[in-house]
Structure 1
């Protein structure tokens, strides 16, 4: 049997615990018998599962399967690279209520929350987070460490660059590109390409200078 190690015990980490508990097919398939946290903050309390130590001190064991629950793309990448350098193994977690179509290729560390629809002919990179109720249209490409907050709608042939962050309920019309490291604010409707590294928001979405990371 194996245990899930949730990396990060903040709000998203607590959500991940709930989504795991409501995904019995995933738990059975991965042969999971326990769930724990690691987190670098002092005195983490009120968690639904034990916190066994810090990220800095964590040493992977052979039966550990990791899920990174750190929302910031940049912070997530830093932590993942530290743990992977110690031979930690990150799994893909797709909630039992996610719907995945044909010819979908995804790399390690993908997190897909409940009621997500991923259609066909889609490429998803490493450690991408897709939150609840998102819709991913055909021929979409989502690059490493990107984050889609809840209820985003990516229509056909959209490209999302590495470490881009889309806020809640962002809609991107067909064929548009969200550049690497860009931040698109909640509720935005993207009608034109968003350049790399900028902050963009509104309906229609407009760019307002470089993102502060």
Structure 2
């Protein structure tokens, strides 16, 4: 274990070993308790970092939660009661706005920039950015990738493993690579009566 001059600088090897053992014991206890209560396990940091506290620290709205394993970059706004799952990427370098009461599943990647032209130009052209907006009451399935400049309307379902590279209107189900509209949600069907 390296200390890099931090609060453990100058600690003895015995002290470092004791700390490492205490962390291992904490991890084992958290795994047992979470497995018994929720029937799942989490990465170590997700046991000790409160998801709601992390969301507050990032300026997310009331009731939002975000796993510690989520990478958050740039200007990201997340609405009330929105859940952001583990191993997600929220790239707000071009501006990212996620609405209220959304579920952003594990492994979702949302990009507001790309470096295609930067790479092709040997670094002479800047990265391109464009904002992404996800409306209220949206479910974004596991491992979805959303590219820069996309707007997803209110009340949408985006199916697992989809690639969203164009706008999706509100009240629809969409999936595929690239994602395409395949039906309407119950919300839209109820409102069309």
TM-score, with length taken from structure 1: 0.55
**Which of 152, 172, 183 in structure 2 is aligned with 1:198?**
172
1:128 aligns with 2:102: no
Q: Which structure has the larger Rg? A: 2
Tell me which of 100, 106, 109 is aligned to 2:63: 109
CA distance in 2, matches of 1:161, 1:20: 32
* TM-score scaled by length of structure 2: 0.60
1:212 Cα shift?
Answer: 3.0
Q: Which residue of 2 aligns with 1:14?
A: 38
Q: Which residue is equivalent to 1:92?
A: 52
User: Root-mean-square deviation (CA), in Å?
Assistant: 3.0
Structure 1 stretches of 4+ moved >4 Å: 15-22
- For residues 162 and 14 of structure 1, the distance between their equivalents in structure 2, rounded to whole angstroms, comes to 27
8 Å contact from structure 1 (residues 104, 120) kept in 2: no
Would you tell me which structure has more helix in proportion to its own residues?
2
Higher mean alpha-carbon deviation, 186-195 vs 108-117, is at 108-117
**In structure 2, how many angstroms separate the alpha carbons of the residues matched to 1:190 and 1:25?**
31
Q: Equivalent residue for 1:23?
A: 47
1:104, 1:121 within 8 Å by CA — same for their partners in 2?
Answer: no
Does structure 1 residue 167 correspond to structure 2 residue 167?
no
Aligned to 1:186: 160
Q: For 2:40 and 2:80, how far apart are their aligned partners in 1?
A: 18
The question of whether the paired residues in 2 share the 8 Å contact of 1:114 and 1:131 is answered with: no
Aligned length: 132
Matched, 1:148 2:104: yes
- 5+ long unaligned stretches in structure 2: 1-34, 113-130, 188-193
In the superposition, relative to structure 1, how do residues 205 and 127 fare at CA in structure 2: closer, same or farther (>3 Å)? same
CA contact (8 A) 1:184 1:200 kept: yes
